[in-house]
């Protein structure tokens, strides 16, 4: 398992957090998702044999939350 923190633009509220949690949580290999609207960050615990960082970032962008960096 790997743990990473992705900085994301424009997480405004609990609804944004829910959207991110749902979108990433449905991906194979994702163990947990903890979005934080105050810090504009998403912490993800995932299995590197099933998904990679690029896949996580791509999914965030697909649901409207652009990763920074």
CA proximity to 1, closest of 32, 55, 45, 34: 45
- What pLDDT score was predicted for residue 31? 98
- C-alpha torsion 47→33→6→11, nearest 10: 160
CB contact burial 8-33 (16+ within 10 A = b; e otherwise): beebeeeebbebbbebbeeeebbeeb
- Domain range holding 11? 2-62
Q: Give SS3 for 65.
A: coil
Q: Which residue has the higher pLDDT, 69 or 5?
A: 5
CATH number of the domain bearing residue 53: 3.30.70.100
> What total of structural domains would you count in the chain?
1
User: How crowded is residue 51: how many other Cβ atoms within 10 Å of its Cβ?
Assistant: 19
Q: Is 14 within a domain?
A: yes
Q: Is 67 within a domain?
A: no
Residue pLDDT, tens place only, 25-56: 999 999 999 999 999 999 999 999 999 999 99
């Amino acid at each position: 398992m790997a743990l990473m923190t992705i900085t994301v633009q424009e997480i405004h509220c609990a609804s944004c957090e829910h959207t991110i949690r749902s979108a990433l949580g449905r991906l194979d290999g994702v163990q947990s998702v903890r979005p934080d609207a105050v810090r504009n960050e998403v912490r993800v615990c995932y299995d590197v044999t099933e998904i990679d960082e690029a896949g996580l970032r791509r999914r965030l962008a697909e649901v409207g939350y652009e990763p920074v960096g």
